[in-house]
Amino acid sequence: MKTLLQLNTSLFADNSQSNRLSNEFVAAWRDANPDGKVIVRDVAAEPIPHLDGQRFGAFLSKPEDRTAQQQAVVDFSDTLIEELRNADVIALGLPMYNFGIPSVLKAYFDHIARAGVTFKYTETGPVGLLTGKKVYVFATRGGKYLGTPADTQTGYVRDFLRFIGMSDVEFVYAEGLAMGDESKTAALAKADEVIRELAAPLREAA
């Protein structure tokens, strides 16, 4: 049975365009995988605590030395990582806030990047341990930044996912959503078309 993990990061819930695009893809994936399992992790609705010294110290502590509070921190991180480990496909909704990724997504990343668990260092450099997964990123922006220095998201998200072993990453963009109704309509229509193209092979394989 295949598993898809949907990661929602938008502050706007049902009014979110990144969630809408992600939902559109997930619906197509469900059609192609009627016996599949979808797990939804909404880190905006249920925010993950931002990393601080105490939480990071819990990750570094030896299991036998952990306090109950530290063990709870590690257990929560392990839950997030297990969701990723069990997923074949990840659908990530990615709005742009103030030229960056949502802070709740950064907190999520900080809780799943664990040496010896999701990556390891070798003599030739880091090696990601969460391999064999396909990631779809649904990136929505008020302005138009793709291909410019202001697009701080694409490279960062690609690099982070590759660092933990996920190198098969595909982006779907909807830009210019705050630049008038015509721009918004055109951007969403283009994104919808890309999603239909992505979904076609899924249906053919079903």
Q: Is 167 annotated as a binding residue?
A: no
Does the annotation flag 143 for ligand binding? yes
Residues 6+ apart with CB under 8 A from 199: 25, 28, 29, 31, 32
Q: Which distant-in-sequence residues (6+ apart) come within 8 Å of 65 by Cβ?
A: none
Q: Taking the CA of residue 206 as centre, how many other CA atoms within 13 Å lie in the half-sphere pointing to its CB?
A: 14
96 in a labelled binding site? yes
Is 18 assigned to a binding site? yes
Residue 141 is labelled as binding a ligand:
yes
Does the annotation list 145 as a binding residue? no
Q: What pairs with residue 38 in β-bridges?
A: 4
Backbone angles phi, psi at 75, to 5 degrees: -60, -40
Q: Is residue 91 within 8 Å of residue 136, measured between CB atoms?
A: yes
Residue 33 annotated as lining a ligand binding site? no
Specify the 3-state DSSP secondary structure of 46: coil
> Which residues neighbour 105 within 8 Å (Cβ) at sequence distance 6 or greater?
7, 9, 43, 94
Task: Output the known binding site.
Answer: 10, 16-18, 96-99, 140-143
Task: Output the known binding site for FMN.
Answer: 10, 16-18, 96-99, 140-143
